[in-house]
Amino acid sequence: MAAALAGEQDSQAVSVTREGTPAARSAGTPASDDDAPQAEAPGRSGRSGSRSRRGRDRGARATGRYVMCVHVESEATQIAVLEGRALVEHYVARPQDDAHQIVGNIYRGRVKNVLPGMEAAFVDIGTPKNAVLYWGDVSYDRDEIDRQQGADRIEHLLRPGQTIVCQVTKNPIGLKGARLTQEVSLPGRFVVLVPDSSTYGISRRLDDNERKRLRRVLDEVRPEGHGLIVRTAAQGAAAEDLRRDVLQLVARWEEIDERARRLPAPALLYSEPHMAVRIIREELTEEHRAVLIDDPELYEIVRDYVAEFEPQLAERIELYDTTTEPLPLFERQHVHEQLHKALDRKVWLPSGGSLIIERTEALTVIDVNTGKNVGSSSLEETVFENNLEAADEIARQLRLRDIGGIIVIDFIDMEIKSNRQAVVSAFKAALARDKTPTQVFDISELGLVEMTRKRVGEGLVETLSETCPMCSGRGIVFREGPAA
């Protein structure tokens, strides 16, 4: 899976040419994951328009629709992303989570066993649970394999005891181990390096003129023997910026390759930087008005990083001085209040309607209700407007709660076909701001919208809560004695 790390963070594929990877995906590939490598995580909508127009200062204050707040405590670091005043994304990193938050890490692993019936292999990478490598993520020389019929089966490509270099594309969740790929990728600020590959691509989020310019630059800076994918963040970047990014990534890969030759398996060869640096690398654009950090040490790290790669954005990295500010950062920005609401089953809509969000092991169900919304003209109009509000809020809740897997939405029934189509279109437009890949189907005959959203993490509720020891998470307590 080319540019696997970048692919976790962007819903737009890139135009690429590559060789030496399986043409089909295994049964273990999520339905919402594209076979083509994904461009990157530009943050929301990337950079539309020129740099001179986006994020320009009005007076002395930068403009933008997003604010990122980084709150550091001894037991955890939290990052909140606000769109206007609304909380849209939330991340948590704890020291004890190092064994579980490993997306992007590169390991030298040892194959423990190969399961032909699952078209997968289990690999020991030094984590509590063995990771899984599906056939579709195994890298091999297609020309050599095609000479022998059936030689491309996973039991012929991998064998127990074999050591491989692999990268984590999905964190371990629940009882499932991490997911791996052999096609390693190293993300920089402007490009993604795919070592020992012919992958070549440019983000489709960029317009045609910019893509042509970057293609010429890419021909100049592309390192021999390695593939490159140009990220959306490269819009307007000078050739020298891209060259510096490429040289740093090539040097990093040479260090990883040297460690892979020297260290016995299982071994960690490369780990992603601090979560704040990682999120800022993937998310920060000129649409961000400010990045507020309440820890001086982390503030210096982040500011130095941004000053090196995006000097014009460095002034937007601000230290929130807790010694002079009357309120903590998350209280000042009303983050705590919105987080508590995001843990509830019920979400109120502006007009008085509501959403009920229920999560199960297999899927998530969202029910839309009119609630207190009585409308003013007709029932159809009231329902239509309520569903439009619900479509926008559901998209926000999916991002904020990081809900993945199969999702079924029960919108209120609408008689007019054009209204049903308008609600689905509004829902898809709202989801376009979500960097996690989604797939949405039209309203069914039962009035349901079925969709999938790639499962990346455990979810907000699981991150901020523990299972009740009394009811084991069922939400009920059984009566003692005979039934009444």
Condensed to tens digits (0 to 9), the pLDDT of residues 349-362 reads 999 999 999 988 88
Which contiguous run of DSSP H or E holds residue 211?
helix 208-221
Q: Is there a contact between 111 and 130 (Cβ–Cβ < 8 Å)? A: no
Which range has the worst mean pLDDT, 158-162, 195-199, 347-351, 399-403? 195-199
**Residue pLDDT, tens place only, 107-152:** 999 999 999 999 999 999 998 889 999 998 998 766 555 556 566 7
- Model pLDDT, residue 99: 63
Residue 189 — very low, low, confident or very high, per pLDDT cuts 50/70/90?
Answer: confident
- Model pLDDT, residue 150: 60
Here the tokens at position 7 are: 């692919």
- Model pLDDT, residue 63: 66
In 3D space, the residue among 64, 123, 461 whose CA is nearest the CA of residue 283 turns out to be: 64
Question: Count of CB atoms within 10 A of residue 65's CB?
Answer: 14
Q: Is there a contact between 349 and 393 (Cβ–Cβ < 8 Å)? A: yes
The CA dihedral of 459, 465, 469, 470, to the nearest 10 degrees, is -90
Cβ neighbourhood burial of 341 (10 Å; 0-12, 13-18, 19+): middle
- pTM attached to this predicted model: 0.69
In angstroms, the Cα distances linking 222 to 17, 207, 230, 246, 279 are 14, 21, 10, 8, 26
Q: Is there a contact between 55 and 64 (Cβ–Cβ < 8 Å)? A: yes
Report the percentage of the chain scoring pLDDT > 70: 83
What distance in Å separates the CA atoms of residue 49 and residue 39, rounded to the nearest whole number? Answer: 18
